[in-house]
């Protein structure tokens, strides 16, 4: 009998599992939101909060994933840490856009990615790459899915990403960290980049930002400081729509830097961001 690690993996089936659970958990956290949300704790700073709903959502997601895939691993933003034997590790952000969720703003979602650590092209800075994933945005009832080589979709409709366009007419999304030191650095960078683009959007959820990019509702995105659970599923959704995702100076994208856009736009954005960070270091 094959061991779990030897059983061939069907990426589309993994995407279907991620989609079913992301939607189910997303519907539940939206209902909880309507009843009221309480902060359970803070993390890297007083602005970096976790709600009881984050913890419940992660627990429900882990339980549902392991019920379907008992030999898999699970890693979650709120502390889930399950080792597996199958070679598949699920990376979960139970509520990406937690501050939006806390305030009742619509840009939040459940992000679930099935990842492998095989070093193949597309491997992120954290050493993993998603082969299937789903992001569900409950307020919009939009379910984004993708699997390796299978394309990406929103509510079953194929996504083709943003058109290539010069940076000066590109609508750019970004995000900021939770610590004063990181935000000071990011303020300097955005001061350099803002004059070069059409406009900036800061929507508060990396997963949602990258899904909007895949849907062609944004032209570009960059952020420094993201964690694997913020980006794992949405990077695959973006890549499968034709979006290029890169780090700085050939490094693997991830926490150090994540830049995403249509290929030529991405090259222009990479140059602008690199120049901005170089000027920071020169100060």
User: Which one of 90, 176, 221, 277 is in contact with ligand LIP (CB under 6 A)?
Assistant: 176
CA–CA distance, 90 with 114 (Å, rounded to integer): 4
C-beta of 11 vs 189, nearer to ligand LIP: 189
**Cβ–Cβ < 8 Å for 73, 82:** yes
C-beta of 204 vs 247, nearer to ligand LIP: 204
Residue nearest ligand LIP (C-beta atom): 175
Tokens describing residue 5: 């690690």
**Cβ–Cβ < 8 Å for 115, 124:** no
Q: At 173, phi and psi to the nearest 5? A: -105, 150
User: Which one of 97, 161, 242, 253 is in contact with ligand LIP (CB under 6 A)?
Assistant: 97
In the complex, least distance from residue 175 CB atom to ligand LIP, rounded to whole angstroms:
2
Tokens describing residue 274: 């690199």
User: Which one of 223, 236, 261, 276 is in contact with ligand LIP (CB under 6 A)?
Assistant: 223
- Total site size for ligand LIP, rule CB under 6 A: 14
- Pairing verdict, β 171-174 and 157-158: unpaired
Task: Give yes or no for residue 175 binding ligand LIP (CB under 6 A).
Answer: yes
Residue 84: count of CB within 10 angstroms of its CB: 17
- Pairing verdict, β 171-174 and 220-223: parallel
Quick one: which segment of 145-153, 163-171, 201-209, 274-282 binds ligand LIP (CB under 6 A)? 201-209
- 178 in helix, strand or coil? coil
In the complex, least distance from residue 2 CB atom to ligand LIP, rounded to whole angstroms:
36
Task: Give yes or no for residue 61 binding ligand LIP (CB under 6 A).
Answer: no
Tokens describing residue 159: 């996504």
User: Which one of 51, 61, 152, 205 is in contact with ligand LIP (CB under 6 A)?
Assistant: 205
Quick one: which segment of 94-102, 149-157, 186-194, 235-243 binds ligand LIP (CB under 6 A)? 94-102
CA–CA distance from 143 to each of 40, 198, 237 (Å)? 27, 28, 11
User: Which one of 58, 96, 219, 240 is in contact with ligand LIP (CB under 6 A)?
Assistant: 96
Where helices occur in 105-244 by DSSP H, the ranges are 180-193, 206-214, 228-240
Cα torsion 61, 149, 12, 209: sign: positive
C-beta of 230 vs 268, nearer to ligand LIP: 230
Task: Give yes or no for residue 221 binding ligand LIP (CB under 6 A).
Answer: no
In the complex, least distance from residue 263 CB atom to ligand LIP, rounded to whole angstroms:
23
Considering only residues 138 through 157, tell me which ones interact with ligand LIP, judged by CB under 6 A.
Answer: none
In the complex, least distance from residue 127 CB atom to ligand LIP, rounded to whole angstroms:
20
User: Which one of 86, 98, 145, 186 is in contact with ligand LIP (CB under 6 A)?
Assistant: 98
Considering only residues 6 through 35, tell me which ones interact with ligand LIP, judged by CB under 6 A.
Answer: none
CA–CA distance from 26 to each of 19, 57, 283 (Å)? 10, 8, 44
Nearest Cα residue to 205 out of 234, 247, 237, 236: 234
- Summarize as ranges the residues that interact with ligand LIP (CB under 6 A): 77, 93, 96-98, 175-178, 204-206, 223, 230
């Amino acid at each position: 009998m094959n061991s779990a690690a030897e059983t061939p993996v069907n990426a589309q089936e993994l995407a279907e599992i991620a989609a079913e659970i992301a939607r189910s958990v997303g519907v539940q956290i939206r209902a909880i939101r309507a009843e009221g949300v309480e902060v359970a704790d803070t993390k890297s700073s007083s602005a970096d909060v976790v709600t009881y709903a984050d913890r419940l959502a992660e627990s429900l997601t882990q339980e549902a994933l392991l019920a379907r895939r008992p030999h898999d691993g699970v890693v979650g933003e709120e502390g889930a840490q399950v080792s597996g034997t199958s070679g598949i590790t699920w990376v979960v952000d139970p509520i990406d856009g937690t501050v939006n969720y806390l305030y009742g703003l619509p840009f939040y979602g459940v992000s679930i990615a099935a990842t492998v650590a095989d070093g193949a092209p597309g491997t992120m800075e954290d050493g993993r790459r998603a082969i299937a994933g789903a992001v569900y945005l409950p307020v919009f009832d939009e379910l984004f899915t993708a699997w390796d080589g299978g394309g990406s979709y929103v509510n079953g409709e194929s996504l083709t990403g943003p058109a290539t366009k010069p940076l000066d007419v590109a609508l750019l999304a970004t995000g900021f960290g939770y610590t004063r030191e990181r935000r000071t650095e990011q303020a300097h960078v955005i001061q350099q980049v803002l004059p070069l683009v059409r406009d900036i959007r800061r929507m508060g959820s990396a997963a949602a930002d990258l899904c909007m990019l895949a849907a062609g509702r944004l032209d570009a995105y960059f952020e420094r400081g993201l964690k694997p659970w913020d980006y794992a599923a949405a990077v695959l959704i973006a890549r499968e729509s034709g979006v290029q995702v890169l780090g700085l100076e050939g490094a693997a994208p991830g926490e150090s830097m994540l830049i995403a856009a249509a290929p030529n736009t991405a090259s222009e954005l990479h140059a602008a961001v690199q120049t901005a960070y170089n000027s920071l270091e020169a100060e």
